[in-house]
């Protein structure tokens, strides 16, 4: 896997390309991209360093890995248009709602396929990249792809049947946590903190709490208890959150995403 071509160059595709280059996983001259807005594509190419292409057909002719990064509603039209050119190439999809079965309905065995669901923290190398276990890549190619993508964050494997709930948690979850950061920031401002400092305190607290859980493997309930002294201030805050239905609200959020995904 040497030459990568992105069909679609939105925020997530840019994050992946930037991460590959910054992590010295793929040289910038080996990354190609196509997007309908050629003016914007050229501007991003000058900023990031990838090679812009004028059509999907041109892109496919220059790469051995095609990354389907356009909007999910556009995938079928795009893939149908280049299907005959994908023979022997690897197709990596980051489009929500598309799995191996859907691609094979269009392509059959023309391409080697791997579906991935990344999330936006990949932009800063702290993402989650969920690789569907069902795929048709050669084992060596898959290992290499996972190594390349590891520069963007944590790589995990997940069955296609569980990808929707994985997306509901790791894919949509950054928006939920952004709301938490904003809310805590507002509370800080209410009591006199400058907004920038309030956001910094909230964001670093979440980053540190997450790292503590990941690195120790300690149950989050135990970590919560460790902060809650008997009769102390933190347990009062936890009590308020429980009265507000915080746990149920987060579960309801995942339920809403799963209902939408049906």
Q: What is the pLDDT of residues 18-52, one digit of tens each?
A: 989 988 899 999 999 999 999 999 999 999 999 99
Buried b (16+ CB within 10 A) or exposed e, 26-45: beeebbbbbbeeeeebeebb
> Mean pLDDT throughout 139-168?
94
Chain-centre distance for alpha carbon 58: 27
Picking from 57, 60, 33, 36, the residue whose alpha carbon sits closest to that of residue 47 is: 33
pLDDT tens for each residue of 204-224: 999 999 999 999 999 999 999
What is the Cα–Cα distance from 18 to 49, expressed in whole angstroms? 9
Q: How many residues does the chain have?
A: 262
In the chain the first and final C-alpha atoms are separated, in Å, by 34
The alpha-carbon radius of gyration of the chain (Å, integer) is 21
Residue 158 has pLDDT above 80, yes or no: yes
Picking from 153, 154, 155, 157, the residue whose alpha carbon sits closest to that of residue 135 is: 157
Q: What is the pLDDT of residue 255?
A: 97
Averaged pLDDT of the chain = 94
What is the Cα–Cα distance from 232 to 103, expressed in whole angstroms? 55
What torsion do the CA atoms of 124, 131, 14, 18 make, to the nearest 10 degrees?
A: 50
Binning pLDDT at 50, 70 and 90, where does residue 96 land?
A: confident
pLDDT tens for each residue of 236-250: 999 999 999 999 999
- Residues 6+ positions from 57 with CB-CB distance below 8 Å: 81, 82, 85
């Amino acid at each position: 896997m040497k030459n990568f071509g992105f069909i679609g160059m939105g925020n997530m595709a840019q994050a992946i390309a930037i991460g590959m280059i910054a992590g010295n996983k793929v040289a910038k001259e080996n990354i190609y991209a196509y997007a309908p807005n050629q003016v914007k594509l050229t501007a991003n190419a000058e900023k990031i360093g990838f090679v812009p292409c004028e059509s999907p057909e041109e892109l496919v002719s220059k790469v051995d890995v095609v990354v389907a990064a356009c909007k999910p509603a556009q995938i079928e039209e795009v893939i149908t248009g280049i299907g005959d050119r994908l023979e022997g190439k690897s197709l990596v999809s980051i489009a929500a709602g598309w799995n191996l079965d859907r691609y094979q309905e269009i392509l059959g065995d023309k391409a080697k396929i791997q579906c991935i669901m990344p999330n936006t923290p990949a932009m800063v190398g702290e993402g989650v990249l969920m690789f569907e276990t069902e795929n048709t890549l050669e084992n060596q190619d898959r290992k290499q792809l996972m190594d390349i993508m590891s520069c963007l964050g944590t790589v995990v494997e997940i069955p296609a049947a569980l990808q929707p709930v994985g997306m509901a948690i790791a894919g949509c979850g950054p928006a939920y946590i952004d709301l938490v950061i904003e809310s805590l920031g507002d509370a800080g401002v209410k009591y006199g903190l400058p907004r920038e400092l309030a956001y910094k305190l909230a964001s670093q607290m979440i980053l540190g709490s997450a790292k503590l859980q990941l690195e120790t493997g300690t149950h989050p309930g135990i970590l919560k208890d460790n902060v809650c002294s008997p009769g102390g201030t933190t347990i009062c805050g936890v009590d308020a959150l429980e009265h507000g239905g915080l746990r149920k609200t987060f579960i309801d959020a995942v339920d809403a995403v799963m209902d939408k995904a049906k």
